[in-house]
Structure 1
Amino acid sequence: MSMPFYVSPEQLMKDRADFARKGIGRGRSVVAVQYADGVLFVSENPSQALHKISEIYDRIAFAAVGRYNEFENLRIAGVRLADMRGYAYDRRDVTGRGLANAYAQTLGTIFSSGGEKPYEVEVFVAEIGDEAADDQVYRLTYDGQVADEHGYAVMGGATEQVVAYLKERYAEGAPLQDAVRLAVAALGHSDSGDRVIPDEHLEVAVLDRTRTQPRKFKRIMPPRLAELLGERGPETPDQPSPDDDAVGGAPSAPATDDPADPTDQVSGGVPPLEDPTTGEPPVAPPADEPPPAQPPVAPPAPPHPGEPPIAP
């Protein structure tokens, strides 16, 4: 009987953590910003069908980055837990802290278990109160750790660059318009330069305590988002990566409209004929140089006496 291969627990946990971090790093960042009337969520999401930001309960929102099927399972489980607790007890008994603790137990159990791979997700759970001081934003990592965030928080993608941008420009108690502009600009910031993300590639939602309905979650649609962002200059979306479906490579040179141009050599076209004596393509005369003069044509010889004239 062969002995099983031994791996130390420290190395096993390190490998699982590296695996989860790589998967999360490939996702696009999600930004959570506390503003005067609630909590704002902004993410770059070109898909119009798959949401990274959703509602859990009346005053609780959920945002995630990583593998969609994994954090969608967490979202559905959170909705069911909140509904059951609110129905069995009272709607006020459903809190963001209780939901974050439930998520932490689930993620921690999956991460420490050797029977399945860890979840490649990070999660935001936010709850708003009657005042700004009562707002709560929790960040949960792949291994079940919980962090209580204040002001702003970022997860997934280029986190360091986005956090550095927000740290320099964040102002507490800002209005919604300023918070949206700051979050969108932070998502487009990178070490190589800032870019303008198209409005249709942004997913924006808020928990707004000023709403009269019990449900405080609201999505900001593109027309309203365009009003909040205003004029931002030309859009510069992400360039397709080598893994994208788009075919890369430099475009071929445009063809010349003049068919008589002997220098027109489009990729895949027919090259000009070669000079049989030198083996080189003929050199075209300059455009402003007149064509060479043709030799004079000798007049026809006069007919022989006695022969009829030749018709021209």
Structure 2
Amino acid sequence: MALPYYVSPEQMMQDKAEYARKGIAKGKSIIVLEYADGMLLMAENPSASLNKISEIYDRIAFAGAGRYSEFENLRKAGIRYADMKGFAYDREDVTAKSLANAYSQTIGNVFSEAMKPLEVEILVVEVADGGLPNEVYRIAFDGSIGDEKGFAAIGGQAEELRLHLKDSYEAGLDQKAALRLATQALEAVSSAKVKPQSLEVAVLERSRIGRKFRRLSHNDLMAILTNTD
């Protein structure tokens, strides 16, 4: 009788991690930058119909890199979670931290128990009211969660982007300066000019009445990026 094939738990986890990293590395990068009056989210995304950046709740946004179908399912699950919690308790009880913890548990369970891990990395971003700190959480393919400050990056060139932003980011940027810095970072790591038509950009504006999420059109991007004032 043939003996069953054996793989040590350590080797299995290493193989899963390597598989997930390779899948995420194929995806385009996403940057989040904190600026004076909110949060900027920018993704390399030439597709006009498949969004990588989305609103989750009143002041919370979601960004996903990696396999689209997988992070899209996570986005929808996050919206359902937020709506149910806000309805059952209070809208103020829906926070980026609670969403990030829920995502961390879901993604971590898949990584530990399923044969194939999720090939995703996600960001959950919340703009705070005056005086309170904004929140940015990065959830990796294994469910590990990181609390980012000032800026964050995920996707294929995330490490290079983080190194670039570490040297060039300054607190207190206005929205236009943040947009230009994020674009420059993408161009620096790819060594190519980034066209506004290939970008997906949204902001969480603290001063905006009601829901804080707003998308920037390609015309908006063109006007800002080509204006050197």
TM-score, normalized by the shorter chain, greater than 0.5: yes
Equivalent position of 1:107 in the other structure? 107
1:231 CA drift (Å): 5.0
Structure 1 pair 74/132, CA: closer, same or farther in 2 (3 Å)? farther
Are 2:217 and 1:221 aligned?
Answer: yes
Alpha-carbon deviations, 1:275-310, whole Å to 9, x = none? xxxxxxxxxxxxxxxxxxxxxxxxxxxxxxxxxxxx
- Distance between the aligned counterparts of 2:123 and 2:172, measured in 1? 20
> Secondary structure of 1:189's partner?
helix
Are 2:22 and 1:22 aligned?
Answer: yes
- Distance between the aligned counterparts of 1:181 and 1:142, measured in 2? 29
What are the ranges of 5 or more consecutive residues in structure 2 without an aligned counterpart? none
Are 2:153 and 1:154 aligned?
Answer: yes
Equivalent position of 2:144 in the other structure? 145
Letter in 2 for 1:21: R
1:183 CA drift (Å): 0.2
Equivalent position of 1:167 in the other structure? 166
> When the two structures are superposed, what TM-score results if normalisation uses the length of structure 2?
0.96
- Distance between the aligned counterparts of 1:116 and 1:5, measured in 2? 15
Residues 37, 132 of structure 1: 8 Å contact kept: no
> Secondary structure of 1:41's partner?
strand
1:132 CA drift (Å): 5.9
Are 2:88 and 1:88 aligned?
Answer: yes
- Distance between the aligned counterparts of 1:58 and 1:116, measured in 2? 36
Equivalent position of 1:42 in the other structure? 42
- Distance between the aligned counterparts of 1:162 and 1:103, measured in 2? 24
Letter in 2 for 1:211: R
Alpha-carbon deviations, 1:24-72, whole Å to 9, x = none? 0110110000000111100110000000000000011000100000000
> Secondary structure of 2:117's partner?
coil
- Distance between the aligned counterparts of 1:116 and 1:10, measured in 2? 14
User: For the aligned residues, what is the CA RMSD?
Assistant: 1.3
Equivalent position of 1:185 in the other structure? 184
- Distance between the aligned counterparts of 1:110 and 1:11, measured in 2? 17
Name whichever structure is richer in strand by fraction. Answer: 2
Alpha-carbon deviations, 1:96-145, whole Å to 9, x = none? 111000000000000001x4310000000011111264200000000000
Equivalent position of 2:69 in the other structure? 69
Residues 31, 153 of structure 1: 8 Å contact kept: yes
- Distance between the aligned counterparts of 1:173 and 1:155, measured in 2? 22
1:2 CA drift (Å): 2.7
Residues 32, 39 of structure 1: 8 Å contact kept: yes
Structure 1 pair 219/132, CA: closer, same or farther in 2 (3 Å)? farther
1:226 CA drift (Å): 1.3
> Secondary structure of 1:172's partner?
coil
> Secondary structure of 1:161's partner?
helix
Are 2:193 and 1:196 aligned?
Answer: yes
Equivalent position of 1:235 in the other structure? none
More RCO (CA 8 Å, sep 6+): 2
Structure 1 pair 132/165, CA: closer, same or farther in 2 (3 Å)? farther
Identity of paired residues, percent? 51
Residues 31, 152 of structure 1: 8 Å contact kept: yes
Equivalent position of 2:117 in the other structure? 118
Residues 161, 189 of structure 1: 8 Å contact kept: no
Letter in 2 for 1:220: L
**Relative to structure 2, which stretch is displaced further, 128-137 or 66-75?**
128-137
What are the ranges of 5 or more consecutive residues in structure 1 without an aligned counterpart? 233-312
1:204-283 correspondence to structure 2 within 5 Å = 204-212=201-209, 214-230=210-226
- Distance between the aligned counterparts of 2:44 and 2:177, measured in 1? 18
1:164 CA drift (Å): 2.1
Alpha-carbon deviations, 1:160-189, whole Å to 9, x = none? 322222111111010000000000110111
